[in-house]
Amino acid sequence: MFIVEIGRGLWTTLRMMFEKPVTVQYPEVKRPMHARFKGRHNLHRYDNGLEKCIGCALCAAACPSDAIFVEAAENTDEERYSPGERYASTYEINMLRCIFCGYCEDACPTEAIILGDNYELSFTDRRQAIYTKEMLIMPVPAGGKTTPQKVEPGIFNRSIPVMENPKD
Amino acid sequence: MTVALLIEYIIKSGLILIAMTVGFAYVTYYERKALARIQSRIGPNRAGPWGILQPVADGVKLIFKEEFVPAKSDKLLFLLAPVITVIPALIITAVVPWGRSVTLFGRQIHLYLADVNVGILYLGAVASISVYGIVLAGWSSNNKYAMMGGLRSTAQMISYELALGLSFVSVTLLAGSMSLVDIVEAQGAHGFLGWIVWNLSQPLGFIIFLIAGMAETNRSPFDMPEAEQELTAGYHTEYSGMKFALFFMAEYIKIIAVSMIASTLFLGGYLGPFVDRLPWLGPIYLFIKTLIMIFVFIWVRATLPRFRYDRLMAFGWKVLLPLAFLNMFIAGIIIVLVGG
């Protein structure tokens, strides 16, 4: 009969008992995501605290599922949100429509919107699925001031900030 | 029949019933944890510390489930079938001795419920009553898959009972008696060496008993009657809630019973070092041996794939039965050589 083979199989399973289990105890332990993981969107800021988003709505145009809604407004020197002529006064992403493709990230000229690591996005009501600018904007980095800022006139007089090639 | 004796019987029966039902709950937990470790994962660990309240959670869930009786089923049989299956499982260990005698409250109390002098016959007979419950469950469900599952299960259990009975016979020959108490005593009659010699003459019998026991309890790799993939759960397809819990209970209690009987007949039961001086060690040894045997059941479930049904029947009749006869002959030859 197959006694020897059954015996070898039993020995293999017994050996597996002494190995460490591969279970990850979520939610106490979370696995880190890979480098360019497409999670929840984040609106980034410059180091001086000004928002990178200039309200151009290219991300809304690029979005294949029409999930982003942008309304722009003029910056004044007393109330300056971004280093250009305009800023996004209303910025909403409907997470139920978003397919996390990253086209908005590719379209953004100032690298303002970047998809980050957060994947825990549950909500219980459809209205809670609309993520507003307050929920998406990153906190002010150390050394910067919060927006809206009051700045010296004449410093930010380009209509669009200096655009560099993307670094990543 | 004094009142004290009656009370003693009632307490021992109560103990067996409680031990079987609590044991059933924690064997399900033990199985899930052991299967998980063999498969490189952790078993249930959320309900209570280390998941020990998981069986409680399962029990509460099953109690609250909707009890569903199919439309054209035979209602009386539908309700009776789980009962007929579970009661024999609960009473089958009444003849297994857990120890020698203990002196409590001024009386000498034997640590077994009943020393039936045909204990082995009792085991075989009671195990066969469960088969009725299964075939009735399949029939009364008014569902052709359940019927096929019930018939398959019945045929399997009856076929493997033959090999089971023959492995009992060789043990009886070696011990000279059918009573389980005498069998355990015969294993310990010549000390530790006698126990070794007993086990050396019985390896084939032990393996045949284990295989036939696994087939009796419809346990992997012989669990074709409850194969989810093939028969949509076989004879207990139409059962939900507490009735399903009773079938589940019957299977696991039979696993405990077969493990206890295997440890009694082949591993020495309650014998072990120092059991003469400390009779309370007897039940502890039996418990440890039963736990080891239950682990063997779980281990085999985690390792072997399911038998196809025709191969299962062929194995029972064409391989196991002749081997059991061979084992009986070997036992007889050993008795003649050793001289009784």
The predicted model gives B125-149 an average pLDDT of 85
Q: What pLDDT score does B308 carry?
A: 83
The answer to whether A10 contacts B300, with C-beta atoms less than 8 Å apart, is yes
Q: What's the whole-number mean pLDDT along residues B68-72?
A: 82
pLDDT on residue B287: 92
Question: Which pLDDT does position B131 carry in this prediction?
Answer: 87
Contact A6/B at CB under 8 A: yes
Please state which of the ranges A64-68, B15-19, B239-243 shows the lowest mean pLDDT: B239-243
A17 interfacial to chain B (CB closer than 8 Å): yes
Rounded to whole angstroms, the Cα distance separating B206 from B196 reads: 14
Nearest-CA neighbor of B231 among B295, B294, B309, B168? Answer: B309
Q: Residues B22, B26, B30, CA angle at the centre, nearest 5°?
A: 160
Per-residue confidence band for B306, with pLDDT thresholds at 50, 70 and 90 = confident
Q: Which residue has the tokens 């019998």?
A: B205
The yes-or-no verdict on residue A61 having pLDDT over 70 is yes
How confident is residue B338, by pLDDT bands cut at 50, 70 and 90?
A: confident
Which of A1, A14, A23 is closest, CB to CB, to B299?
Answer: A14
Q: How far apart are the first and last CA of chain A?
A: 62
> How many alpha carbons lie under 13 Å from residue A59 in its C-beta half-sphere?
31
What tokens were used for B150? 């019930």
Burial class (CB in 10 A: 0-12, 13-18, 19+), B59: middle
Half-sphere exposure of B311 (CA within 13 A, CB side): 8
Tokens of A160: 């669009």
Q: What is the pLDDT of residue A101?
A: 93
Q: Which of B99-113, B160-174, B212-226, B248-262 has the lowest mean pLDDT?
A: B99-113
Q: For residue B254, which of B139, B119, B90 has the smallest C-alpha distance? A: B90
CB B290 within 8 A of CB B298: no
Give the per-residue pLDDT at B83: 92
Amino acid at A157: N
C-alpha B276/C-alpha B104 separation (Å) is 16
**Minimum CA–CA partner of B34 in chain A:** A17
Peptide bond into A139 cis (omega under 30): no
3-state secondary structure of A7: helix
- Model pLDDT, residue A38: 93
DSSP SS3 for B153 = helix
pLDDT number for residue B110 = 79
Strand partners, A41: A115
The stretch A57-63 carries a mean pLDDT of 94
A72 forms beta bridges with: A88
Q: State the sign of the Cα–Cα–Cα–Cα dihedral B14, B16, B20, B23.
A: positive
- Return the SS3 of A34: coil
Query: What is the average pLDDT score of chain B?
Result: 85
- Candidate ranges A79-83, A142-146, B68-72, B199-203; pick with highest mean pLDDT: A79-83
Q: Check residue A131 and report its DSSP letter.
A: E
Tens-digit pLDDT profile for residues A105-148: 999 988 899 999 999 988 999 999 999 988 888 888 887 888 78
Q: Which of B37, B50, B208 to mutate to test the interface with A (most CBs of A within 10 A)?
A: B37
What's the rounded mean pLDDT across residues A51-66?
Answer: 92
- C-alpha to C-alpha distance for A77 and A74, rounded to whole angstroms: 10
- Tens digits of per-residue pLDDT, A27-44? 888 988 998 899 999 999
Contacts of B37 in chain A (CB under 8 A): 16-17, 21
Give percent above pLDDT 90 in chain B: 25
Q: Which residues contact A157 (CB under 8 A, 6 or more apart)?
A: none
Query: Cβ atoms within 10 A of the Cβ of B61, count?
Result: 11
Whether B174 and B335 have beta carbons less than 8 Å apart is answered as yes
The span from the CA of B282 to the CA of B264, in Å, is 11
pLDDT at B238: 78
Q: Which residues of A touch B34 (CB under 8 A)?
A: 17
DSSP B206-243: HHHHHHHHHHHTT-TTS-GGG-HHHHTTGGGTT--HHH
Please give the distance of CA B194 from its chain centroid, rounded to a whole number: 26
